[in-house]
Amino acid sequence: MIDLDFNKMGGLIPAIVQDHASGDVLMLAYMNAEAFNATLESGQATFFSRSRQALWVKGKTSGHVQHVKSVHIDCDQDAILVRVEQVGRAACHTGYRSCFYRRVENQTLKIDDQPVFDPKEVYKT
Amino acid sequence: MIDLDFNKMGGLIPAIVQDHASGDVLMLAYMNAEAFNATLESGQATFFSRSRQALWVKGKTSGHVQHVKSVHIDCDQDAILVRVEQVGRAACHTGYRSCFYRRVENQTLKIDDQPVFDPKEVYKT
């Protein structure tokens, strides 16, 4: 068993998701013990949604699932790094490849990427 | 002003630190508003230490400071990505380049990197 420190954050640990091919950081989400085990067992990145308070298989709605290539744990055992193959080229619900699509410049946020899908098409909103 | 969501985590936001040249994810730490502003103003990655409950200029003790190359904010404005030039080649106090130096394999943790410094030499412990 891997001894992770879920206590610091009330049962959750932050998980960084990185594209294994490009090295781009795609998103940050949270895992509880169940999500961590589901990620390892299924090979698909699975988180705990803080807003919905439920297990969240990334991409279940959009089809943009994340196939897990590796999982690393940090020195304090309170952070997770998941390297994935991102299906659909985009991790973010906004249509950008990465959730980190805005850069801080002169105290403002500047978009520095192009969206790869239209959220209205993918989520049928 | 950049409107970050510090409320979800009691005044803190997780900050991913990535080596701007290699793309390696080096560490995850936390920023409060003061640390975020100090990072932007000084150009050196600055965090809030949860264990010490104090501002933490990364590398102040070891000399392994992180020169900020860019700062990105995620879609929900509750996570930060800082790309840095890592002085001393290593971010982790253990002597490894990245805090994520252990990989999950068969329900155990396997070290999959070589340390680049001896912590006893750097921290004079």
Contact between A101 and B14 using a beta-carbon 8 Å cutoff: no
Q: Is A108 on the interface with B (CB under 8 A)?
A: yes
**The Cα angle at residue B120 between residues B119 and B123, in degrees rounded to 5:** 75
Q: What is the ipTM of this complex?
A: 0.94
pLDDT for A74-91, tens place per residue?
999 999 999 999 999 899
By Cβ distance, the residue of A71, A81, A103 closest to B25 is A81
Residues 33-52, chain A: which have Cβ within 8 Å of B? 40, 50
CA distance A36 to chain B (A): 11
pLDDT at A125 over 80: no
**A111: its two tokens:** 């978009």
**Closest chain B residue to the Cα of A12, Cα to Cα:** B9
Q: Any bridge partners for residue A50, and if so which?
A: none
pLDDT at B125 over 60: no
**Closest chain A residue to the Cα of B91, Cα to Cα:** A75
Contact between B70 and A27 using a beta-carbon 8 Å cutoff: no
Q: Name every chain A residue with its beta carbon within 8 A of the beta carbon of B107.
A: 1-2, 40
Q: Is A10 on the interface with B (CB under 8 A)?
A: no
Q: Is A92 on the interface with B (CB under 8 A)?
A: yes
Contact between B81 and A8 using a beta-carbon 8 Å cutoff: no
End-to-end CA distance of chain A: 42
pLDDT for A38-67, tens place per residue?
999 999 999 999 999 999 999 998 899 999
3-state secondary structure of A56: strand
pLDDT for B49-96, tens place per residue?
999 999 999 999 889 999 999 999 999 999 999 999 999 989 999 999
End-to-end CA distance of chain B: 42
Residue whose tokens read 């299906």: A87
**Which has the minimum average pLDDT: A9-13, A51-55, A115-119?**
A115-119
